[in-house]
């Protein structure tokens, strides 16, 4: 899926993998083009600028019974950096949309594309097992 922030180089040490699973809503007043533009704006202004994120890989469930699943994989150096990454996402959002009303409007626009249901998972990426 488009939008990845690939590893600068293949990891040579173990990393923390944070997965967030959300579910798409299909609003009547929405379009894939609008979601894609909003998502790209968020990626460029927030995710790509977050130096704690070593790699970011979005995935969506393309075939099957549940095409609403949207899985985002964030790779960071440590659990401490995971906490810093999450805080930095918030800081970068405030920087990107410095006006609170603009931030709320962006959240409202993006929010209509998700059901509000999500799950979080934390795994270890073991570098020596990677091909």
* H or E stretch covering 70: strand 69-76
DSSP-assigned letter for residue 5: B
Mean pLDDT by 10 residues, the chain (131 residues): 90 96 92 95 97 96 78 97 98 96 95 95 94 73
pLDDT given for residue 71 in this prediction:
94
pLDDT given for residue 31 in this prediction:
93
Q: Which one, of 113, 110, 55, 105, lies nearest residue 85 by Cα?
A: 55
pTM of the full structure: 0.92
pLDDT given for residue 76 in this prediction:
98
Q: Taking the C-alpha atoms of 101, 103, 109 and 113 in order, what is their torsion angle to the nearest 10 degrees?
A: -140
């Amino acid at each position: 899926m488009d939008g990845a922030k690939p590893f600068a180089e293949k990891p040579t040490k173990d990393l923390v993998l944070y997965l967030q699973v959300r579910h798409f809503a299909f609003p009547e007043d929405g379009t894939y083009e609008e979601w894609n533009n909003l998502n790209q704006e968020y990626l460029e202004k927030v995710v790509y600028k977050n130096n704690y994120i070593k790699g970011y890989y979005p995935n969506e469930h393309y075939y099957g019974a549940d095409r609403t699943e949207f899985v985002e994989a964030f790779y960071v150096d440590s659990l401490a950096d995971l906490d810093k990454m999450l805080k930095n996402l918030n800081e970068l959002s405030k920087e990107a949309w410095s006006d609170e009303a603009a931030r709320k409007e962006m959240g409202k626009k993006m929010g209509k594309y998700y059901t509000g249901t999500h799950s979080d998972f934390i795994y270890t990426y073991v570098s020596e097992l990677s091909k």
